């Protein structure tokens, strides 16, 4: 795993050459949520192709560039496009954005994703702050020799998502008068959407939403002792007893509608880092 | 993943050279159900090793050949012997034959396999029509860059087993006067059988039977836009509080004893297909 440190150092070096600021937070933008990057006062945009060891993002609705600039007068970097296991990337590759954020000096990671709602109280277009997660991806970015410079061999996961961030998100939602759920994200490998039986399983296991990302990044962020805020947009509702079919484009359309709520929460959270 | 397309075309061409028909359906014959292929009329048999890019089957009681011909007057191709994740094959390789069936013209996949029963209402020798599945194999044949020529990036899985065919299967069993179960199959990697704790876990997450195959093939069939009909033969009961060691010979014997029911169902589904024109 020693080589991971070198990969990150090379990537960090390339970003620093283009953007000398020290970010306070990294923001990983999920499917259809790339619009959040437009809220950022941009200093520079760096194509993933120009960052060593960053791979091309092939996913629908993912651009593949790093946006560096300021949000609420706080220096941030936003990853427009992430790496998914279902694309064939390893969990270690999927974790690169989190580790690059840490290497550049930020101690906060904000991750967002599009997820399928399992909890029957959730509706399409709702936003959920991730309270906890279940890793059902059969992969972990920390497998291999541990690099003690990056973090401990056995990271504690008793509280992967920062409570203060969760509280800020809840305050923003109350102030702005929209529904914000707080629940458990189940990460599946994909790329198939869940069967009805798999939805029931994920629900019985304690999940409120199911998705195909985020967990590798959060594990790496916790390994690096970063504070994490996780946000899921409910883009479809998995109702196993009245199944409807889902397409990638339906998911994107629903994600767009939640974009405004998400932006408010991210602004509020970033402002707390001033 | 883009080289997969060429592999499918090459394998399809190799089969077409020996059997120049468009199959309506592909059938995968699981453990103990190999004798079924003897009923195929005007059979053309092709060993897997003669087909480009096909892996070889190493499992007990699996022969490793493709039998093409007619069943109920419907052109079909049947796999005698399938490939399993526990043999060490990547899921893309395991599922290649399904892609080839589709490329040759089949739009229906019929899968059969032997499973352990966890639903206490089942008995050994029962046949279950698969209603739904849980993938616990830790892998998915569609991981990697998606080839849009083969199917969509995110296939919907709200009904992987064609509801209409499930209903037809239940009707066939009623008419032939034997009970048929309908339930959820969970697929695990194997090759070890489950511990008692694992059986409890699999039951708790909603599965009625557990097996080590079928899920990858069905995912690829759905990705390809094929309709699917799945049958599980319950060869032993996996009740964690009265668990006995499994004996492979007994499992195969029970699978063979269930063959008449299985045959009735598969032939009935094909007759239904023929009736649909």
Q: Could you tell me the sign of the dihedral formed by the alpha carbons of A53, A58, A63, A69, in that order?
A: negative
* Tokens of residue A255, six digits: 């994600």
Interface contact B157-A195, CB threshold 8 A: yes
- For residue A96, what pLDDT is reported? 93
Cβ neighbours of residue B139 closer than 8 Å, sequence gap 6 or more = A138, A189, B85, B91, B216
If you average pLDDT over residues A115-119, what whole number do you get? 93
If you average pLDDT over residues B203-226, what whole number do you get? 97
- For residue B256, what pLDDT is reported? 84
Instruction: Give the ipTM of the model, two decimals please.
Output: 0.84
Query: Chain B interface, mutation test: which of A83, A136, A197, most B Cβ atoms within 10 Å?
Result: A197
- For residue B211, what pLDDT is reported? 95
**Tally of domains within chain B:** 1
pLDDT at B32 exceeding the cut of 70: no
- For residue B162, what pLDDT is reported? 97
- For residue B62, what pLDDT is reported? 57
pTM for the model stands at 0.89
Interface contact B135-A192, CB threshold 8 A: yes
Q: Domain range for residue A211?
A: 2-271
Q: Tell whether B214 lies on the interface with A, counting CB pairs under 8 A.
A: no
Q: Tell whether A120 lies on the interface with B, counting CB pairs under 8 A.
A: no
If you average pLDDT over residues B223-249, what whole number do you get? 90
Interface contact B145-A88, CB threshold 8 A: yes
If you average pLDDT over residues A131-158, what whole number do you get? 94
Q: How sure is the predictor about B58, in pLDDT bands with cuts at 50, 70 and 90?
A: low
Tell me the β-bridge partners of A130: A183
Whether the CB-CB separation of B177 and B35 falls below 8 Å is answered with no
**What's the angle, vertex CA B24, arms to CA B19 and CA B28, rounded to 5?**
80
Q: Domain range for residue B31?
A: 3-275
- For residue A172, what pLDDT is reported? 96
- Chain A (131-150) residues lying within 8 Å, Cβ to Cβ, of chain B: 138
CATH, residue A259? 3.40.50.1580
CB-CB: which of B1, B139, B160 is closest to A195? B160
Chain A residues with beta carbon closer than 8 angstroms to that of B163:
none
CATH, residue B161? 3.40.50.1580
**Tally of domains within chain A:** 1
CB-CB: which of B143, B154, B205 is closest to A201? B205
pLDDT digit string (tens) for B148-163?
Answer: 999 999 999 999 999 9
pLDDT digit string (tens) for A26-57?
Answer: 999 987 567 788 889 999 999 998 999 887 66
- For residue A196, what pLDDT is reported? 93
Q: Tell whether B184 lies on the interface with A, counting CB pairs under 8 A.
A: yes
């Amino acid at each position: 795993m020693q080589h991971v440190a070198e990969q990150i150092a090379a990537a960090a070096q390339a970003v620093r050459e283009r953007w000398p600021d020290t970010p306070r937070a990294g923001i990983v933008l999920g499917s259809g949520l790339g619009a959040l990057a437009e809220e950022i006062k941009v200093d520079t945009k760096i194509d993933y192709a120009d960052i060593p060891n960053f791979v091309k993002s092939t996913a629908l609705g993912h651009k593949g560039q790093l946006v560096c600039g300021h949000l609420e007068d706080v220096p941030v970097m936003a990853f427009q496009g992430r790496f998914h296991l279902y694309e064939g990337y390893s969990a270690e590759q999927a974790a690169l954005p989190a580790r690059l954020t840490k290497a550049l000096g930020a101690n906060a990671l904000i991750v967002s994703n599009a997820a399928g709602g399992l909890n029957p109280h959730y509706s399409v277009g709702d936003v959920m702050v991730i309270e906890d997660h279940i890793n059902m991806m059969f992969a972990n970015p920390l497998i291999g020799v541990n690099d003690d410079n990056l973090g401990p061999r056995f990271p504690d996961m008793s509280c992967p998502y920062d409570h203060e961030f969760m509280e800020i998100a809840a305050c923003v939602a109350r102030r702005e008068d929209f529904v914000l759920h707080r629940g458990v994200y189940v990460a599946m490998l994909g790329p198939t959407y869940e069967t009805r039986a798999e939805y029931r399983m994920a629900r019985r296991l304690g999940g409120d939403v199911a998705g195909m990302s985020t967990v590798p990044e959060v594990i790496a962020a916790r390994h690096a002792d970063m504070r994490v805020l996780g946000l899921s947009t409910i883009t479809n509702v998995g109702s196993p007893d009245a199944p409807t079919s889902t397409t990638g484009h339906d998911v994107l359309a629903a994600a767009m509608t939640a974009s405004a709520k998400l932006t408010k929460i991210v602004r509020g959270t970033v402002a707390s880092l001033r | 993943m883009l080289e997969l397309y060429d592999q499918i075309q090459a394998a399809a061409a190799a089969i077409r050279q020996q059997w120049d028909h468009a199959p309506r359906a592909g059938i995968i014959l699981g453990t103990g159900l190999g004798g079924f292929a003897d009923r195929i009329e005007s059979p053309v048999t092709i060993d897997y090793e003669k087909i480009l890019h096909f892996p070889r089957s190493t499992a007990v009681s699996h022969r490793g050949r493709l039998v093409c011909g007619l069943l109920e007057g419907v052109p079909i191709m049947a796999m005698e012997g399938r490939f399993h994740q526990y043999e060490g094959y990547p899921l893309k390789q395991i599922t290649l034959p399904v892609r080839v069936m589709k490329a040759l013209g089949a739009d229906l996949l019929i899968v059969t396999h032997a499973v352990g029963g966890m639903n206490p209402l089942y008995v050994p020798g029962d046949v279950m029509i698969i209603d739904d599945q849980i993938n616990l194999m830790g892998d998915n044949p569609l991981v990697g860059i998606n080839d849009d020529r083969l199917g969509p990036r995110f296939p919907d899985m709200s009904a992987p087993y064609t509801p209409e065919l499930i209903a037809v299967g239940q009707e066939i069993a009623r008419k032939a006067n034997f009970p048929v179960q309908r339930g959820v199959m969970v697929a695990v990697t194997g090759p070890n059988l489950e511990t008692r704790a694992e059986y409890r876990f699999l039951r708790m997450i909603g599965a009625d039977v557990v097996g080590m195959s079928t899920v990858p093939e069905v995912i690829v069939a759905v990705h390809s836009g094929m309709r699917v009909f799945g049958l599980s033969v319950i060869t032993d009961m996996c009740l964690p509080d009265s668990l006995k060691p499994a004996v492979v010979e007994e499992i195969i014997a029970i699978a063979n004893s269930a063959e008449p029911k299985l045959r009735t169902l598969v032939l009935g589904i094909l007759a239904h297909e023929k009736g649909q024109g």
